[in-house]
Chain A
């Protein structure tokens, strides 16, 4: 769809690429401030306990210690750490520091000291007497009567049913599923379970806070949500928003884990207490259990179909745990229904979900945001139904899937913690995604092929998925542009590039609109003192929402440029065009003025700064579509599953930078592959993490990766800038169900629990074939 565009649709280098490949100081921790102290958090050793007595005397007395904070020293302000638009739909159930701890790793106290060694020693000198409480570790026990109440504090709010540890509850229905099941010829119902995956950004969470010369609190932090973090920190520390300055430098990966106000509040509190710069940086171990993870779920999926293959009714019932705090609890789980069920056009749909507290690490936003769980259930069940009906899984999906012109009504019922807005399908590349991905994996050939050595069985499987592009009616962004003497433009956006390439894509949108080359756009992003508001990097919103704001701002500035050129060239505006870093007439006279000449004229003759800004939001969230095909080899002697080939075809609307878009797909696929086969944060019987290191919690390395094929099926989305939708999340949903379905094709067993471990495969194989 790039057409004759000079910048949009081109594989341009990342605008921040050179500083990254040369290792220049660009990340949060790449500065050193004179007098900077090191902060450390004392993590709870108990899953559930009340602090009966805490004595910080010895720690405070240790030379080099500048502050020790406990719940006695800080304001008690119930809040959520979820970096969401105000008013956040997540419960206000979290405190800067509290007299109760609710998971192993919960904050007990915080220290700031001259060195890390002194800070760590100070932690050991804090004397804490705990009243250990019964812990609720199992998701299925959480709602039972008589179990411990995790949030018994009186001042938390927005908890659905604290007595039964229910953080949130969702029930939505379209049509009447019971009627739908009665009208069905066949009904299928299965239970699925998913694990606790951790984001594993290569850069663990880090924040540095200090008071500037005006005594304003500056927080340089690895965040996806600078503006939300500013608002939340101001509320928690009880200082005006105007006294807080949040800076988002380059970020070493977020994937949702940094859509949290996680270290900013406590680092800020220590800086205020010591009047010194303070840095808190999670170790890798801390990142695993003190940061966030993906919500584990137990899903019951039920579908009713006619013999002709029509899906009549579809029902998903979910029990999920948010861990000890309700960060993103109802919103992640809401997505499990609203983004998953409408992929198929069942007349009757029902989604019910309980999100429960447990004394386990806190779940939060994670790429896919509830969809990987839901699609694992739905796409595995749909494969089983197709098999039962004797239908090809691709053709069965093609018959039932959502299509151009459809309206997804479930989204109207299920918004961001409230009623949402209906989704109109204005662009849909799903059919082409199916065709091209099937061809790339040789679906028809491999589906019917048998063979391989006796103990190595090969199979192919697939899954179809979708996501959103921003949160309809909630996400919004703004952008500001001003022109410089040399004909370049400064672009200021609140959007938060966390490594996915937002700065490049947004600069491309501005450059294309203004008719200048990419080097003429200098972007600054994610600084609350300098850039205008943006909700931040989440919900696949940046390209479509922030990009929409950039497009609008650039169109306004383009109009100012044309007005100026009209004066200079003595030509009517409607006969002028921007391109090649100049403004030129499109009539016979062929006059032109360069952007640089125009800028000098505007500034020094007309005394005018060419500048403008714009805000943008959408009332709809156009879904990007994706299909994933997997070819696997199952070793029937060991249960080991080797993925040979993963083909992903995605409809992202227009790919503003196709090379970057492919990179988003490949990265998401690698994470989805880990989720499918190996990644799970495990807890012992006391709620302590068992594998909080890369040695024990493996992620895929270059050597482990299967062959990847990425196919971009571009469409033209009317609501997106230059037709763009989104791409970063949707490809993570497919690998797990596609692999599970390929395993079935290879050896005839259904795996319904993630991750799919060799021991599970072997056990299922032995149940199916006891002679093995």
Chain B
């Protein structure tokens, strides 16, 4: 919209929501995407991969459900409880999924990793012991161009307490 002076005037509104356990109040424009607002407010772990809901890199948990934050207006998240990757670890204690992704070599470039882990987190919350097929079905919404998905799937199964396929190299991952 343009004012009489020719300057673009953006209508703003207030958004109240919970992000990673903390109550937030942000000034947004009605058309702002949730993805953009979260990144603007410092949640850089929410990644922009396609802005069309096709790649899953921007996945966050909204009231426990995985959603593509690029497909949602921030305004629609009014009153919601959002978990981004930044909120998954408790202090310095990583979530078992994060540990498993490191131990299984499931992280390469790491760009799709936050979305994958959050999607897996929601899966394990509703189905603590998924089969490999269920993991693959769920993670079909998270494109990864680096790993071929084998190690991420193994990591999710390991975090779920399912014995993963033995490491083919016969050498277990060790912490540094």
Question: Which residues in A have some Cβ–Cβ distance to B below 8 Å?
Answer: 2, 9-18, 20-27, 29-30, 32, 63-64, 118, 199-204, 250-253, 255, 281, 283-284, 498-501, 517-519, 655, 658-660, 662-663, 665-671, 693-695, 699-705, 708-712
Q: Is B73 an interface residue (CB 8 A)?
A: no
A-facing mask of B64-97, CB < 8 A → 1, else 0?
0000000000000000000011101100001000
Distance of A437 Cα from B145 Cα, bound (Å): 24
Taking a contact as CB atoms under 8 Å apart, the answer to whether B112 and A23 are in contact is: no
Write out the residue numbers on chain B whose beta carbons fall within 8 Å of the beta carbon of A699.
143, 145
The secondary-structure label for the interface of chain A is loop
Question: B60 CB to closest chain A CB, in angstroms?
Answer: 10
Distance of A693 Cα from B52 Cα, bound (Å): 9
Taking a contact as CB atoms under 8 Å apart, the answer to whether B102 and A13 are in contact is: yes
Write out the residue numbers on chain A whose beta carbons fall within 8 Å of the beta carbon of B54.
284, 693-695
Write out the residue numbers on chain A whose beta carbons fall within 8 Å of the beta carbon of B84.
23
Instruction: Please name the residue on chain B nearest to A501 by beta carbon.
Output: B108
* Of the residues B7, B48, B174, contact of A29 by C-beta under 8 Å: B48
Q: Which among A22, A118, A660, A702 has the greatest number of chain B C-beta atoms within 10 A?
A: A702
Q: Known A11-B174, A13-B103, A710-B168; judge A500-B108 contact (CB<8 A).
A: yes
Distance of A200 Cα from B46 Cα, bound (Å): 18
Q: How many residues of chain B are within 8 Å of chain A by beta carbon? A: 66
Q: Known A30-B44, A32-B40, A200-B145; judge A659-B105 contact (CB<8 A).
A: yes
Q: Known A20-B110, A669-B148, A712-B169; judge A694-B85 contact (CB<8 A).
A: no
Question: A167 CB to closest chain B CB, in angstroms?
Answer: 28
A-facing mask of B9-52, CB < 8 A → 1, else 0?
00000000000000000000000000000001011111111111
Taking a contact as CB atoms under 8 Å apart, the answer to whether A253 and B86 are in contact is: no
Distance of A499 Cα from B106 Cα, bound (Å): 11
Taking a contact as CB atoms under 8 Å apart, the answer to whether A12 and B176 are in contact is: yes
Distance of A703 Cα from B108 Cα, bound (Å): 19
Distance of A9 Cα from B174 Cα, bound (Å): 12
Instruction: Please name the residue on chain A nearest to B57 by beta carbon.
Output: A202
Write out the residue numbers on chain B whose beta carbons fall within 8 Å of the beta carbon of A200.
143, 145
A-facing mask of B152-171, CB < 8 A → 1, else 0?
11000000000000011101
Q: Known A23-B114, A24-B45; judge A250-B50 contact (CB<8 A).
A: no
Taking a contact as CB atoms under 8 Å apart, the answer to whether B176 and A708 are in contact is: no
* Of the residues A23, A27, A660, A712, contact of B85 by C-beta under 8 Å: A23
* Of the residues A9, A21, A250, contact of B109 by C-beta under 8 Å: A250
* Of the residues B107, B135, B147, B172, contact of A14 by C-beta under 8 Å: B107
Instruction: Please name the residue on chain A nearest to B106 by beta carbon.
Output: A663
Question: B96 CB to closest chain A CB, in angstroms?
Answer: 11
The 5 A-B residue pairs whose C-beta atoms are closest, nearest first, are A23-B45, A499-B109, A20-B110, A252-B111, A23-B85
Question: Which residues in B have some Cβ–Cβ distance to A below 8 Å?
Answer: 6-8, 40, 42-52, 54-55, 57, 84-86, 88-89, 94, 98, 101-105, 107-114, 117, 135-137, 139-153, 167-169, 171-176
Q: Known A21-B98, A662-B169; judge A694-B147 contact (CB<8 A).
A: no
User: What are 23 of the A-B contact pairs (CB < 8 Å)?
Assistant: A9-B171, A22-B45, A23-B44, A23-B114, A25-B45, A26-B110, A30-B44, A63-B7, A200-B145, A201-B109, A250-B110, A253-B146, A284-B51, A658-B171, A659-B151, A662-B105, A665-B148, A666-B150, A667-B147, A670-B148, A699-B143, A702-B139, A702-B144
Q: Which among A24, A252, A284 has the greatest number of chain B C-beta atoms within 10 A?
A: A252
Taking a contact as CB atoms under 8 Å apart, the answer to whether A701 and B143 are in contact is: yes
Q: Known A22-B98, A702-B152; judge A663-B145 contact (CB<8 A).
A: no
Taking a contact as CB atoms under 8 Å apart, the answer to whether A701 and B148 are in contact is: no
Taking a contact as CB atoms under 8 Å apart, the answer to whether A702 and B168 are in contact is: no
Taking a contact as CB atoms under 8 Å apart, the answer to whether A702 and B51 are in contact is: no
Taking a contact as CB atoms under 8 Å apart, the answer to whether A703 and B174 are in contact is: no
Taking a contact as CB atoms under 8 Å apart, the answer to whether A701 and B51 are in contact is: no
Taking a contact as CB atoms under 8 Å apart, the answer to whether A13 and B146 are in contact is: no
Question: B73 CB to closest chain A CB, in angstroms?
Answer: 15
Taking a contact as CB atoms under 8 Å apart, the answer to whether A667 and B145 are in contact is: yes
Q: Which among B6, B142, B171 has the greatest number of chain A C-beta atoms within 10 A?
A: B171
Distance of A401 Cα from B102 Cα, bound (Å): 39
Instruction: Please name the residue on chain B nearest to A708 by beta carbon.
Output: B150
Taking a contact as CB atoms under 8 Å apart, the answer to whether B143 and A10 are in contact is: no
* Of the residues B49, B148, B174, contact of A13 by C-beta under 8 Å: B174
Question: A190 CB to closest chain B CB, in angstroms?
Answer: 30
Question: A74 CB to closest chain B CB, in angstroms?
Answer: 28
Taking a contact as CB atoms under 8 Å apart, the answer to whether A659 and B173 are in contact is: yes
Question: B87 CB to closest chain A CB, in angstroms?
Answer: 9
* Of the residues A25, A251, A498, A665, contact of B44 by C-beta under 8 Å: A25
Write out the residue numbers on chain B whose beta carbons fall within 8 Å of the beta carbon of A671.
145
Q: Known A519-B176, A712-B169; judge A666-B8 contact (CB<8 A).
A: no
Write out the residue numbers on chain A whose beta carbons fall within 8 Å of the beta carbon of B140.
701-704
Instruction: Please name the residue on chain B nearest to A21 by beta carbon.
Output: B98
Distance of A15 Cα from B110 Cα, bound (Å): 12
Question: B127 CB to closest chain A CB, in angstroms?
Answer: 16
Write out the residue numbers on chain B whose beta carbons fall within 8 Å of the beta carbon of A701.
139-143, 149
Question: A496 CB to closest chain B CB, in angstroms?
Answer: 12
Distance of A579 Cα from B14 Cα, bound (Å): 59
Distance of A159 Cα from B6 Cα, bound (Å): 49
Distance of A22 Cα from B95 Cα, bound (Å): 9
Distance of A32 Cα from B41 Cα, bound (Å): 10
Distance of A16 Cα from B108 Cα, bound (Å): 10
Taking a contact as CB atoms under 8 Å apart, the answer to whether A662 and B149 are in contact is: no
Distance of A517 Cα from B174 Cα, bound (Å): 12
Question: A609 CB to closest chain B CB, in angstroms?
Answer: 25
Write out the residue numbers on chain A whose beta carbons fall within 8 Å of the beta carbon of B109.
201-203, 250-253, 498-500
Taking a contact as CB atoms under 8 Å apart, the answer to whether A702 and B105 are in contact is: no
Instruction: Please name the residue on chain B nearest to A521 by beta carbon.
Output: B176
* Of the residues A284, A668, A705, contact of B150 by C-beta under 8 Å: A705
Taking a contact as CB atoms under 8 Å apart, the answer to whether A666 and B148 are in contact is: yes
Write out the residue numbers on chain A whose beta carbons fall within 8 Å of the beta carbon of B153.
702
Write out the residue numbers on chain B whose beta carbons fall within 8 Å of the beta carbon of A204.
48-49
Write out the residue numbers on chain B whose beta carbons fall within 8 Å of the beta carbon of A281.
48
Question: A217 CB to closest chain B CB, in angstroms?
Answer: 24
Q: Known A10-B174, A284-B52, A704-B140; judge A252-B110 contact (CB<8 A).
A: yes
Taking a contact as CB atoms under 8 Å apart, the answer to whether A203 and B108 are in contact is: no
Write out the residue numbers on chain A whose beta carbons fall within 8 Å of the beta carbon of B44.
23-25, 27, 29-30
Taking a contact as CB atoms under 8 Å apart, the answer to whether B113 and A20 are in contact is: yes
